[in-house]
């Protein structure tokens, strides 16, 4: 609390100085009169004798390691479970992490200069991209006896992504986390971090992405102990109609990963030994006829799941007719339908969800 109070006072003092400097050189421009912008190197003039330089950078890195010793039967660990610790990013972990900076550099005449730079270095997954100021690592104590640690980042980015268009090609790359969706109904979508490639071929477009839902670094493990899902889409625009096919493959090794006792479930953690491989296939149409807009989407989920092993059943104290390492087939489906009429002053709509 003392550090927070001191930091707040320093921030207030800096802002006060910046406001005073700006007030000394406020540029008086008559209403409606254009004012040219003057640039000095990397600085632009924002007022009389007041120069500003914007500082912004973002780095996204996927780091992976493989333990080949003893036919991958030796359990290995990361050096830290903290999502803001930079040590795991140097190797010995399977992580997707970012380092982002944003700031400004102000100069007033030749006597005063002020620089403010914010930085966030975070291991990314579907949890850490959200505000988790009062949260800790999932799963409780890890299998190596290390307690869960705080996931308070201090500085939090709501969205942080980098988009690059390959000139002269139909391809575009986006890395980071923004508010996205895969299917037309928006059932598969979030601000989870991902690496996505888009292709635009006129009326036909495609997309492929790998999405980090839960990273094994937060439970102290390396290698194959994360939950990653892969999304693929293809769409055809026959305006005002659109037809789209989506495929989502989910590979979950996070829920049943090794942890210490007592095992804390929730936040993606299930029972020891659980595994899940599933594929969701979605086909949809959306279109408009006059003032009426509609959407229909059908989905089916297929796959295989494995239940808890003997140790997982014993640790959880499960009783009844339950056997270890049980195999389960996954089969499910659903339909989404939506209609809306634009009557100008009102838009009545009706929706249906069946699963």
Is 256 domain-assigned? yes
Stated pTM of the model:
0.79
Tell me the average pLDDT across 62-85: 76
- pLDDT, residue 20, reads 44
Is 323 domain-assigned? yes
Residue 248 makes CB contacts below 8 A (sequence gap 6+) with: 182, 188, 229, 230, 231, 232, 279, 280, 282
Is 267 domain-assigned? yes
Cα–Cα separations (whole angstroms), residue 50 to 14, 108, 355: 16, 5, 61
Q: Give the distance from CA 333 to its chain's centroid.
A: 27
Count: domains in the chain? 1
- Percent of the chain predicted with pLDDT > 70: 84
Is 258 domain-assigned? yes
Which CATH number does the domain housing residue 315 bear?
2.40.160.100
- pLDDT, residue 35, reads 62
Q: What's the domain range around 316? A: 161-354
Is 278 domain-assigned? yes
Range of weakest confidence among 11-15, 51-55, 166-170, 323-327: 11-15
Is 93 domain-assigned? no
Is 31 domain-assigned? no
Is 152 domain-assigned? no
């Amino acid at each position: 609390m003392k550090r927070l109070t001191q930091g707040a006072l320093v921030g207030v003092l800096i802002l006060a100085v910046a406001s005073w400097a700006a007030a000394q050189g406020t540029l008086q421009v008559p209403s409606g009169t254009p004012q040219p912008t003057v640039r000095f190197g990397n600085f632009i003039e924002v007022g009389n004798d007041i120069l500003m330089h914007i500082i912004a950078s973002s780095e996204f890195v996927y780091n992976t390691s493989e333990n080949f010793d003893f036919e991958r039967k030796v359990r290995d660990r990361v050096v830290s479970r903290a999502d803001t610790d930079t040590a795991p990013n140097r190797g010995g972990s399977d992580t997707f992490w970012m380092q982002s900076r944003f700031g400004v550099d102000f100069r007033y005449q030749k006597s005063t200069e002020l620089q403010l730079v914010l930085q966030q270095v975070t291991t990314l997954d579907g949890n850490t991209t959200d505000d988790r100021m009062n949260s800790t690592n999932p799963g409780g104590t890890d299998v190596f006896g290390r307690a869960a640690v705080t996931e308070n980042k201090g500085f939090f980015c709501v969205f942080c992504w980098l988009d690059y268009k390959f000139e002269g090609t139909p391809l575009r790359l986006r890395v980071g986390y923004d508010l996205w969706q895969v299917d037309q109904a928006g059932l598969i979508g979030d601000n989870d971090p991902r690496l996505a490639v888009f292709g635009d071929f006129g009326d036909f477009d495609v997309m492929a992405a790998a999405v980090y839902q839960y990273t094994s670094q937060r439970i102290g493990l390396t290698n194959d102990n994360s939950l990653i899902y892969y999304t693929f889409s293809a769409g055809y625009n026959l305006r005002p109609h659109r037809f789209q096919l989506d495929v989502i493959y989910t590979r979950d090794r996070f829920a049943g990963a090794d942890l210490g006792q007592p095992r804390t479930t929730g936040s993606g953690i299930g029972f020891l030994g659980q595994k899940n491989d599933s594929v969701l296939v979605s086909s949809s149409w959306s279109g408009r006829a006059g003032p009426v807009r509609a959407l229909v989407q059908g989905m089916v989920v297929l796959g295989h799941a494995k239940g808890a092993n003997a140790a997982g059943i014993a640790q959880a104290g499960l009783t009844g007719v339950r056997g270890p390492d049980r195999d389960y087939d996954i089969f499910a489906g659903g339909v989404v339908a939506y209609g809306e009429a634009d009557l100008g002053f009102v838009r009545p709509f009706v929706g249906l969800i069946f699963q």
